[in-house]
Amino acid sequence: MAEIGQDIQQAKALLEAGELVAIPTETVYGLAANGLNAKAAAKIFEAKNRPSFDPLICHTNSMEKVESFTTNIPNKAYALAEKFWPGPMTMLLDRAPIVPDLTVSGLGRVGVRIPDHELTLSLLEQLDFPLAAPSANPFGYISPTTAAHVNDQLGGKINYIIDGGHSEVGIESTIIGFENDEAIIYRLGGLSVEEIEDVIGPVKINAHSSSNPAAPGMLKSHYAPSCPVILGEELKAMAQQYAGKKVGVLGFDYGLENIPAEDQFVLSVRGDLNEAATRLFMGLRYLDGQNLDLIITTLVPDEGLGRGINDRLKRSAAKG
């Protein structure tokens, strides 16, 4: 298993040597390597068993550094960066030649983010390259929100895990790009559509599933436990439909009386979408460890962070 700690200098030395380090962010934990080193980035794809056509997001700590490996940054991007960075927003920007093809899966744009986590920002400040860092989990499985989650899933493939506590947001960043001055959301996530529109006006939502993604996190089947997730309209009816099976319940603000308490996980008893987002991957991971035949769940209110939660639920329930 990997060593877990808070030694920034040790993490820095490993990353400079082209090795992998897991880093905490406010969204989820990332599996990091030098984003400008193709051999280092290749280790990410290998450790995660991630398809090479699914591009990586690069993390750094300042707009000045963003400008060093991107080009043609639009004014709307600067406005969003000023408002929401550090934070759970990734922007797709034209890449400079210094960014390897492997990091961006051969695309012309690179996903860029400044994460909002004290330890990771401290590390990034000391590096002269961005960190390519998708979620630190085997490809397609539940994203990790603690150092222990990372160690359980990838501990044998990582040199070091920075322990930054529990991720506060709990779902991945919102991804936004720009085409002909039009802002387009490619992945719903930890920053709501409403917050973005308050800064730059109306945006287009293009968060469709794809087997050849133009941005990270666009594959249809993703974020899934090992047992089937069934998405329906009403928990009680679903439980009756699957009577005789060992059913787990992932509820938004309530559970079911006829299902054992240990086989249920309620995201927010007070119906708080922010709390639900923080607990989503935790709940999926907990239920996946209960030796269930299947997990039943429903969509949450489709507003604010609820849109990102519903996106993850749909993908966790997708079949291939």
Name the binding residues for L-threonine.
27, 113, 133, 173
Both tokens of 177, joined, read 């790009």
Instruction: Measure the CA dihedral 81/121/137/56, to 10°.
Output: 50
Rounded to whole angstroms, how far apart are CA atoms 319 and 314? 10
Both tokens of 120, joined, read 């990771």
Looking only at the bridges linking them, the beta strands covering 204-205 and 160-162 are: unpaired
Of 89, 13, 105, nearest to 53 by C-alpha is 105
Judge residue 275's burial from the number of C-beta atoms within 10 Å of its C-beta, 0-12 exposed, 13-18 middle, 19 or more buried. Answer: middle
CB 281 within 8 A of CB 143: yes
Residues with Cβ within 8 Å of residue 295, at least 6 apart in sequence: 225, 227, 228, 229, 230, 247, 248, 249, 250, 284, 287, 288
* Rg for the chain, CA atoms, rounded: 19
Write out the binding residues for ATP.
50, 59, 135, 143, 187, 223
Rounded to whole angstroms, how far apart are CA atoms 83 and 116? 13
Phi and psi (nearest 5°) for 125?
-60, -30
Both tokens of 225, joined, read 């436990």
Both tokens of 158, joined, read 């990582």
Write out the binding residues.
27, 50, 59, 113, 133, 135, 143, 173, 187, 223
3-state secondary structure 92-107: EEEECCCCCCCCCCCC
Residues with Cβ within 8 Å of residue 313, at least 6 apart in sequence: 229, 231, 280, 297, 299, 300
